[in-house]
Structure 1
Amino acid sequence: MEHQYKISDPQVLKAVSHPLRVRLLGLLRTDGPATASELGRKAGESSGSTSYHLRELFKYGFIEEDDDQRDGRERRWRARHAYTSWDAAEMSDTAEGREAVRIMHLRQAEMVQRLLGEFDVAQWPRDWVDAAGMSDHIVSLPPAGLREFKEKAEALLRDLAAKYAGDPEARQVSAWHGAVPRSTPTEEDS
């Protein structure tokens, strides 16, 4: 699997931003190769619906057939990339790009909401419950400070993943960070 898929075409970002496609791609990345039927059961969708959306993900280069684990009756699919990225500033040069970025940000927020809703503290040991969760901070930063936060958070996460690789207590963890300015831009910001 390649590391990342960097999107520069708003049409491609729009194609992956469909709620079921986001979910299917996430399942293939976290749970590994699967058939349309298997993904349909996990996502609560029909195999016909998942088949259609898998074909769309394939068309835009997000997934590929998994020839190593071929099922005689049904195609098995796998993610081609560990994660997807895009340059929001570059995408925002057009109305179509701005809309694609806005929709994708909303899909990301929906995913975070779904995953937090699935996290049942009664099912996890205290160490996991104490370590998990979210926080929000309101700080004043210029764009350079916000960029530095983003870069340092990503670097720290990569360092910790490498440090704890192979630890018997390690589990897949969904980690998020995000930040946006809270007020409408003024003429000074332009």
Structure 2
Amino acid sequence: MDSEDGRRVLDPAQDGAALKALTHPLRLTLLGLLRQHGPATASELAARTGESSASTSYHLRVLAKYAFVTEAEHRDSRERRWKSVHDMTSWSNEAMRRSPGGSTILNALHRRQVEHLQRSLDRHEADLESGRLGQEWQEPSGVSDSMPRLTPESLAELWEVLQAKTDELTARDAGDPRAEQVVLFTAGLPLAPDPVAGQGRADASAAPDATDAGAPDAPAAGDAS
């Protein structure tokens, strides 16, 4: 189902094959590149990813089969250009976990997103070190984590507030030449009490990094970035 804001909402009961197709890391990368940079050929995407043209061409055809990408206007007749059909893909987590094999697909998609975060962090650090990003980006950029105690309703509200604020600021900065692509990674992962430790103590491995508080590159309090 398509929404008016350029988002494709997938129904796990009807779109299971399409969701499974997204679990392949190269397909997610190709789709992300088309959404970020616009139409491209299989050869151009191969150069960006380090894959062969045959591989990118095959995976683009799979994405096209499930209506994630489609052919764009060709500059010449030698090679097809591809473009993304939607700006974003979403689904219901609850419906996903109820569907056969849905939990496996959802877990795989989450891990693909975390891998994307690692690649983005590597590039961000390289861009700062090389000077491709100006010094004005050093203070507002960063990674932060916290562990508030929230109800399901409050966590759902937090997602809505973050999305609304992101949409507002994106629209405000649309015509500003200083604006750059920002990888905004958000996660809301409730943790059950540790059954071994008891007393409601969470697993120490999931505790926030103590070095984050007051770290020079940590976003200011309340910064959605």
> TM-score, normalization: structure 1?
0.92
1:135 paired to 2:138: no
Corresponding residue SS for 1:78? strand
Q: Which residue of the other structure, out of 163, 178, 183, is the alignment partner of 2:172?
A: 163
| 2:184 is aligned with 1:181 | no
Comparing both structures, which one devotes a greater share of its residues to helix? 1
Alpha-carbon deviations, 1:44-98, whole Å to 9, x = none? Answer: 100000011000000000000002x343211100000001111111111124111
Gaps of 5+ in 2: 196-225
**Residue 2 (structure 1) shift:** 6.9
| Percent identical | 42
User: 1:5·1:83 contact (CA, 8 Å) conserved in 2?
Assistant: yes
Distance 2:27 2:8 in 1: 15
How far apart in 2 are the matches of 1:2 and 1:151? 15
* Residue 171 of structure 1, CA deviation: 1.4
Q: 1:112, 1:84 → 2: CA distance? A: 17
Name the counterpart of 2:202: none
Cα RMSD for the two superposed structures: 1.7
SS at structure 1 position matched to 2:148: coil
Which residue does 2:115 correspond to in 1?
110
Deviates more, 1:1-10 or 1:148-157: 1-10
Higher relative contact order (CA 8 A, sep 6+): 1
- What amino acid maps onto 2:149 in structure 1? S
Whole-angstrom distance in 1 between the partners of 2:194 and 2:17: 27
| TM superposition shift of 1:125 | 1.6
CA offsets 1:5-48 (integer angstroms, 9 cap, x no match): 11112221110120000000000000110000000010110000
What's 2:28 paired with? 22
Measured at CA, do residues 16 and 184 of structure 1 come closer, stay the same or move farther in structure 2, by a change above 3 Å? farther
The alignment of Structure 1 onto Structure 2 pairs a total of residues equal to: 185
Equivalent residues in 2 for 1:55-94, closer than 5 Å:
55-67=61-73, 69-94=74-99
Offset of residue 180 of structure 1: 0.4
Q: Is the 8 A contact 1:3 1:81 kept in 2?
A: yes
One-letter code aligned to 2:7:
Q
- Please give the alpha-carbon distance, in whole angstroms, between the structure 2 residues aligned to 1:156 and 1:2: 15
Q: CA deviation at 1:155?
A: 0.4
Contact in 2 for aligned 1:24/1:54 (Cα 8 Å): yes
Q: Distance in 2 between matches of 1:155 and 1:2?
A: 12
For residue 141 of structure 1, give the secondary structure of its aligned residue in structure 2.
Answer: coil
> How far apart, in 2, do the equivalents of 1:91 and 1:71 lie?
41
- Partners of 1:142 and 1:185 in 2: CA distance: 18
Which consecutive aligned stretches of 4+ in structure 1 deviate over 2 angstroms post-superposition?
Answer: 182-186
| Match among 4, 7, 10 for residue 4 of structure 1 | 7
Do residues 40 (structure 1) and 46 (structure 2) align? yes
Q: Identify the match of residue 149 of structure 1 among 152, 155, 158.
A: 158
SS at match of 2:98: coil
Can you give the 5+ residue segments of structure 1 that lack an aligned partner in the other structure? none
